[in-house]
Amino acid sequence: MPWCTLLTADKPEESKDKRGEGPGGETETPRFVPTSIPGAWSRKPKKGDEQHRMTKRNEYELIFIAHPDLDGEEVKEFSAKVSGWIEATDGQVTHTIPWGRRRLAYPIRDQSEGFYVLLRIFLTPEGIGKLERELKLSESVLRYLLVRAEQPPPVSKRPATPPPAAPKPPAEPIGSDTEEE
């Protein structure tokens, strides 16, 4: 299979020559279309497309450090705002765990403390860039880390082996005087 195909007019009588004049007398430029490159001419799905809704979502962990000037209620509001960004990109928040105010290992933007918040989320690959952009532009976020969550180990279907039985005590005490007689 060739790696590209030359596209010309639909009807052979309309195009005189592949590089000659077209139907209106103007010179046609041949167009080469890749044929063996998978997805070379595929379009991105639109918001309402069925294919867009069926995109696979992966599980991620997002941890961010909020600015220490925020109080506890403002941190909760900001966490809800981040959850809104995630849901706007067809994502889903499964767990939100606030770790509270902690001391940083080194100063970030002249701050030595910050509020740590951990979110367990499902997100599409397209949503990652949008979420990271919002987090980078937010003044309330000192740092963030978004990593793909580890999958739990598969559950074994075979029954668990019972614990080994305790050793039986010997019939005769060791070192007894009965053998010498």
pLDDT, tens digit (0-9, with 9 covering 90-100), for 89-130: 989 999 999 999 999 999 999 999 999 999 999 999 889 999
pLDDT, greater one: 124 or 10: 124
pLDDT digits (tens, 9 = 90+) for 34-89: 444 444 444 455 555 555 455 688 899 999 999 999 998 999 999 999 999 999 99
Q: Do 31 and 59 belong to one domain?
A: no
Distance CA 49, CA 105 (A): 46
What is the tally of structural domains in the chain? 2
* 118 burial via Cβ count (<10 Å: 0-12, 13-18, 19+): middle
Measuring CA to CA, which residue among 11, 33, 34 is closest to residue 22?
11
Q: Do 63 and 29 belong to one domain?
A: no
> H or E segment at 131?
helix 125-137
Q: Is residue 17 part of a domain?
A: yes
pLDDT of residue 41: 45
28 lies in which domain range? 1-39
Q: Do 125 and 60 belong to one domain?
A: yes
Q: Do 66 and 134 belong to one domain?
A: yes
Q: Is residue 98 part of a domain?
A: yes
Distance CA 8, CA 21 (A): 12
**pTM score:** 0.54
Residue 33 has pLDDT above 50, yes or no: no
Q: How confident is the model at residue 3 (pLDDT cuts 50, 70, 90)?
A: very low
